[in-house]
Amino acid sequence: MSRSLLLVGSPKPGASASRSFAEAVGSRLEARGWSTRTERVSPAFADATRMGELLDAIAESDLVVLAFPVYVDSLPAPVLRLLETWESAIADGAFAGTAPKRLAVLTQCGFPEASHCDFSVAVCRRFADKTGVEWAGALAFGMGAAIEGRAPEQSPLNGRIEQLDAAVDALAAGDVIPAEATAAFARPLAPAWSYPLLGGMMWSKQAKSRGCKEPLNLRRYAQ
C-alpha cells in the first residue's frame, strides 16, 4: 500500500486552513487506497526525539504533502527549518535504502491573489531539486481563511472540487499535479478590489470580538 504523510505547517494547534487543505487531500488519497498519516510540523522542534520521529515518518512515506500558510511572502520559519533538517538528514544518509520520496505542496495566503504564494512554491521546488526529492506539484489559493476548519465542500472552494479530485488522482498515480488544477485553484475567490473594504470590516469585527479598545492603527514604537 502506498503511504502518504500529511505535514501541517500551520503553527495553530487546532483548526487551520492548512489542516483543512491537508485533510481534504488525505481523505481523497485514502479513498484511492493510500494510507495517510498526519503530523504537525511545529511540535517536532520541541525536542530531538520528536524531530527524529518526524524524520522517521518521512522516511516511511512515499509521498509527503506539505501544507502551510504563507508568512511574510515565504514559508513560516518552522516549515523552513523542517526542510533544512530534512536536507541535513538526507546528507547524513538517514534515508538511505528507503523508498524515493515525492513532495506535493498545498499553500494559501491571506490576500485574494494566489500569486502571493508563488515564491513559497518556488522555494519548495528548489528544495526538491536540490535534495533529489521528486517534485509532485502544488496547489495554492488566496483568501486562505475561507476554508479554516472546513472541508472544501463546505467552503468557497466548493467550486473547485473537480480540480482537487484531478490533483489527487495525479498524486495517487505517481504523477505531478496537473497545471490545469493548479491554475483553477489560483483563481481569486473574491475580486481584489473588494478586499480593502471587506478586509477592513473583517479586522474591525475581529478586534471588537477580542475586546480590543485601542485603535487598530496605533503606532506603538517611537521613530
Which amino acid, one-letter code, is at 174?
A: G
- Residues 39-49 as b or e (16 or more Cβ within 10 Å = b): bbbbebeeeee
Q: Does 50 bind other proteins (CB under 8 A)?
A: no
Footprint (CB under 8 A) of other proteins, residues 11-30: 11-12, 16
| Given 31, 130, 153, 175, the residue binding other proteins (CB under 8 A) | 130
- Residues 77-105 as b or e (16 or more Cβ within 10 Å = b): ebbbbbbebbeebbeeeebeeeeebbbbb
**Least separation in angstroms between CB 69 and other proteins:** 6
Cβ distance to other proteins smaller for residue 3 or 81: 81
**Least separation in angstroms between CB 49 and other proteins:** 19
**Least separation in angstroms between CB 145 and other proteins:** 10
Instruction: Answer yes or no: are the C-beta atoms of 166 and 32 closer than 8 Å.
Output: no
Burial class (CB in 10 A: 0-12, 13-18, 19+), 23: middle
Q: Which three cell numbers mark 167?
A: 490533483
> Vertex 29, ends 116 and 51: CA angle to 5°?
70
| Given 4, 36, 64, 71, the residue binding other proteins (CB under 8 A) | 71
**Least separation in angstroms between CB 216 and other proteins:** 5
Q: Does 63 bind other proteins (CB under 8 A)?
A: no
Contacting residues toward other proteins, per CB under 8 A? 10-12, 16, 42, 69, 71-78, 80-81, 83-84, 111-113, 115-116, 119, 122-124, 126-127, 130, 192-193, 195-196, 199-200, 203, 206-207, 210, 212, 214-223
